[in-house]
């Protein structure tokens, strides 16, 4: 287990950047080289398995996500060794993407495309760009023509078609292939025509939930689908997408618990109205992305007000020291503190409100204090990834589930704290906040 928190100051002069560097040391120690490049053990602890099984190349818990972390660590430090680490991981992706059957963003090929394209952008290596295009071509060609429109999985949520569409929109821009946007918009039209709001998990989606549970959250529910529709409206200005996004947002508002300036979203309805996750996957941090995207594309201050309601609910819940049913012993990007750091850094960059940056720093205080690193091997975070299995405590290397994503959130905070310096950070396609985490007003003041 991790040591007791060291709060409220970073120990021994520790900063978000130095903590991210120490995190990189541990992840590098888990690296394995072969003829195809480099990959990293999901959980290098002897005799332990990763908290979440997943595809080895995935953005969620595999090579693609770790490549992104090392790209960002290289940008933050200027050290070539980290860029080489990312290159070696990208070599592995370029050599293995053809073996990937899953097409999704977080768990499959679309996430690999994202990591390859970002590596090509950062390194100027055209071989990675070519591999990204070839893999994206396969994703685009794999779309099925249904009576209701274009689809890959039949699931409109981020875990299915929604994530693939967002990944193709990103690929169209960074790879310069407008056909990816065309197929993404066509698939999005099918999503806009579905009965939003609500998605049933079903037994194959989440066996811990009732079959008739409707999930308003981000990665597997209404909020993430409505976010996608708002993004498609921004791309096309087609009112069909905006109307569908607003229907989803209205549903989320209707079922939310509002107390003064605070808002909380149920994990699922009708059975879980009193269970309020705070993280990205199924909680306030993810739902806030929907409302910020709606504000970004419409300018409606009412949507930004809902972002602030959700953020205020998080900040006033006693975090980071208090644990709740919806914020347990979990540190990762998916459902833990690192995802909240992303939210509050993004909100500061979007609004310039200092309280958001201060709260992000307090979350980072707690994260750094909870890291395990007493053996000199580097920082990692032992956590109970599955809320309903608190006895399963592991430390993982991956992005959404483990150290790479936690390190990335610390690097994003470091970029926000850098006085007078503007640096691009890598945000996933479902993150609507500024990719340069400095308020626009501050940038305008610079000579």
Exposure of 291 in the CB half-sphere (CA atoms within 13 A): 27
CA-based nearest residue to 158, from 205, 96, 97: 205
Which residue, chain included where needed, has tokens 């693939």? 164
Report mean pLDDT in 10-residue bins for the chain, 447 residues. Answer: 38 85 97 96 79 79 97 97 98 97 96 98 98 98 91 92 97 98 97 70 56 83 95 98 95 91 86 84 95 98 97 90 81 95 97 96 94 91 81 90 97 90 93 92 63
Give the Å distances, CA to CA, from 376 to 7, 21, 369, 371, 385: 21, 13, 15, 12, 24
A 10 A CB-CB count for 195 gives 7
Q: How many residues are recorded in the chain?
A: 447
Beta bridge pairs of residue 33: 38
Tell me 2's DSSP state: P
Element (H, E) at 18: helix 16-29
Res 321: pLDDT:
80
DSSP 189-205: HHHHTS--S--B--TTT
Q: Which two tokens stand for residue 119?
A: 């590596």
Q: CB–CB of 32/40 below 8 Å?
A: yes
DSSP 340-393: HHHHHHHHHHHH--HHHHHHHHHHHHHHHHH-B-TTSS--B--B--STT-TT--
pTM comes to 0.93
H helix runs in 175-300, sequence order: 178-192, 222-236, 239-255, 284-298
CA-based nearest residue to 212, from 142, 253, 272: 272
CA-based nearest residue to 121, from 111, 110, 132, 112: 132
Res 197: pLDDT:
52
261-304 per-position pLDDT tens digit: 999 998 877 787 888 889 999 899 999 999 999 999 999 999 99
To the nearest 10°, the Cα dihedral for 148, 151, 153, 159? -110
């Amino acid at each position: 287990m991790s040591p007791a928190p060291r709060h409220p100051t970073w120990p021994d002069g520790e900063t978000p950047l130095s903590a991210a560097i120490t995190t990189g040391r541990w992840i590098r120690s888990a690296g394995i080289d072969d003829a195809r490049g480099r990959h990293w053990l999901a959980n290098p602890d002897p005799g332990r398995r990763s908290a979440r099984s997943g595809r080895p190349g995935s953005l969620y818990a595999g090579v693609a996500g770790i490549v992104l972390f090392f790209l960002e660590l290289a940008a933050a430090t200027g050290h070539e060794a980290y860029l080489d680490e990312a290159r070696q991981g990208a070599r592995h992706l370029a050599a293995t993407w053809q073996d990937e059957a899953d097409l999704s963003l977080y768990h499959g090929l679309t996430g690999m495309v994202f990591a390859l394209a970002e590596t090509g952008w950062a390194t100027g290596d055209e071989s990675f760009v070519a591999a990204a295009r070839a893999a994206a071509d396969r994703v685009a060609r794999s779309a099925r023509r249904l009576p209701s429109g274009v689809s890959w999985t039949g699931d409109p949520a981020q875990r299915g078609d929604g994530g693939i569409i967002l990944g193709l929109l990103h690929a169209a821009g960074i790879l310069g292939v407008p056909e990816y946007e065309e197929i993404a918009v066509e698939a999005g039209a099918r999503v806009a025509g579905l009965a939003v709001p609500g998605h049933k998990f079903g037994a194959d989606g989440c066996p811990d939930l009732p079959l008739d549970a409707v999930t308003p959250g981000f990665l597997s529910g209404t909020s993430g689908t409505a976010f996608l529709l708002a993004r498609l409206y921004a791309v096309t200005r087609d009112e069909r997408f905006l109307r569908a996004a607003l229907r989803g947002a209205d549903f989320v508002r209707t079922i939310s618990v509002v107390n003064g300036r605070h808002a909380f979203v149920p994990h699922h309805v009708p059975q879980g109205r009193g269970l309020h996750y705070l993280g990205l996957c199924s909680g306030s941090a993810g739902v806030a992305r929907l409302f910020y995207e709606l504000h970004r594309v419409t300018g409606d201050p009412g949507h930004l007000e809902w972002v602030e309601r959700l953020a205020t609910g998080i900040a006033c819940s006693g975090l980071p020291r208090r644990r709740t049913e919806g914020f347990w012993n979990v540190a990762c990007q998916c459902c833990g503190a690192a995802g909240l750091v992303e939210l509050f850094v993004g909100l500061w960059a979007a609004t310039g409100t200092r309280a958001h940056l201060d709260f992000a720093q307090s979350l980072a205080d707690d994260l750094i204090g909870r890291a395990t690193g007493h053996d000199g091997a580097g920082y990692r975070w032992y956590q109970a990834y599955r809320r309903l299995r608190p006895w399963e405590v592991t430390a993982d290397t991956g992005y959404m589930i483990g150290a790479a994503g936690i390190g990335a959130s610390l690097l994003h905070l470091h970029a926000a704290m850098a006085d007078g310096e503007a640096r691009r950070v890598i945000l996933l396609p479902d993150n609507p906040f500024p990719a340069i985490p400095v308020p626009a007003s501050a940038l305008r003041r610079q000579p």
